[in-house]
């Protein structure tokens, strides 16, 4: 399932890797509808999840998933291909419990796991039970997240742009403009960034200008096909650009292979 053209000029910006550092809180001080992807079982995971939700921001779980390499960067609570179904789903449930108020998940790394049928089936089975969605970070062009989510009736979205895979102001400004252009052309677009000082500066300078660009920053859940914010429901119950115009009316961005290696190590 993908976002539709009903979301004309809307963007969502997801900040990954939240929870390890107290300094991550700086992003929470921006008075904007950013979405926070929080790493489970990190020092500030539960506290930041609560704070972001109180600020009416979307929170998702930045779930570590096995990659093709560099798995030493996965962190605690990782899902791996050698797990049994019980181990796999218990690990996912533990992450959901550690990041309260989360409305969905996205993959931290995951270039291996997201292309495997069985792990993705186990994931979608549990997400359906918890009424959660999946944002595919697209760390591999072979990802099976969206088709398998479709099979299980789980809402799924995908990342279009990495804002800060190269932490140079001119490159980040270029990526931000690409985000705006995609939203204008396709109706909506999703970016992923990280709690870097450079990213904070980029957002601080550019987010107040969005209205003048004819683009609206919205919580990630606002781009779901149903166009219903899961956060509202929760409150009531305590590379290269590949365009899929025919199917999804939204672009998918894959950065160049050399930069993709850098990006995956950060995801």
Averaged pLDDT of the chain: 86
pLDDT per residue as tens digits for the range 242-263: 233 223 333 344 333 333 333 4
Nearest-angstrom CA–CA distance, 87 and 92? 9
- Give the burial class of 94: count Cβ atoms within 10 A of its Cβ; 0-12 exposed, 13-18 middle, 19 or more buried: middle
Nearest-angstrom CA–CA distance, 54 and 163? 26
- Give exposure, 186-215, as e/b (b: 16+ Cβ within 10 Å): bbbbbbbbbbbebbbebbeebbeebeeeeb
pLDDT at 225: 85
pLDDT at 155: 98
Whether residue 112 is predicted with pLDDT greater than 60 in this model: the reply is: yes
Confidence class for position 222, pLDDT limits 50, 70, 90? very high
Confidence class for position 226, pLDDT limits 50, 70, 90? low
More confident residue, 251 or 99: 99
pLDDT per residue as tens digits for the range 22-35: 999 999 999 999 99
For residues 226 and 196, the answer to whether their CB atoms sit within 8 Å is: no
pLDDT per residue as tens digits for the range 130-184: 999 999 999 999 999 999 999 999 999 999 999 999 999 999 999 999 999 999 9
- Give exposure, 253-267, as e/b (b: 16+ Cβ within 10 Å): bbbeeeebeebbebb
pLDDT at 258: 31
61 φ/ψ sector (left φ>0, alpha ψ -120 to 50, else beta):
beta
Q: What is the pTM of this model?
A: 0.84
- Sorted by sequence, the CB contacts under 8 Å of residue 211 that are 6+ apart come out as none
């Amino acid at each position: 399932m993908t976002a539709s053209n009903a979301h004309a000029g809307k963007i969502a910006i997801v900040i990954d890797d939240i929870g390890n550092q107290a300094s991550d809180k700086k992003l929470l001080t921006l008075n904007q509808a950013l979405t926070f992807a929080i790493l489970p079982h990190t020092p500030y995971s539960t506290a930041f999840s609560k704070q972001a939700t109180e600020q009416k921001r979307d929170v998702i779980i930045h779930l570590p998933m096995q990659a093709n390499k560099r798995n030493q960067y996965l962190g605690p609570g990782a899902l791996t291909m050698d797990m049994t179904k019980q181990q796999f789903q218990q690990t996912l449930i533990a992450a959901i419990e550690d990041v309260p108020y989360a409305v969905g998940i996205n993959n931290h790394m995951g270039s291996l796991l997201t292309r495997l049928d069985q792990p993705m089936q186990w994931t979608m089975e549990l997400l359906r039970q918890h009424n959660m969605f999946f944002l595919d970070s697209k760390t591999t062009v072979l990802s099976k997240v969206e088709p398998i989510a479709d099979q299980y009736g789980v809402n799924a979205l995908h990342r279009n742009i990495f804002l800060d895979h190269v932490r140079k102001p001119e490159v980040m400004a270029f990526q931000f403009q690409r985000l705006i252009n995609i939203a204008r052309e396709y109706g909506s677009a999703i970016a992923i960034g990280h709690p870097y000082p450079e990213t904070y500066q980029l957002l601080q300078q550019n987010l107040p200008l969005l209205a003048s660009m004819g683009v609206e920053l919205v919580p990630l859940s606002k781009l779901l096909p149903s166009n219903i914010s899961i956060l509202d429901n929760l409150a009531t119950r305590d590379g290269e650009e590949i365009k899929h115009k025919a199917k999804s009316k939204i672009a998918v961005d894959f950065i160049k292979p050399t930069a993709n290696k850098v990006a995956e190590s950060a995801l």
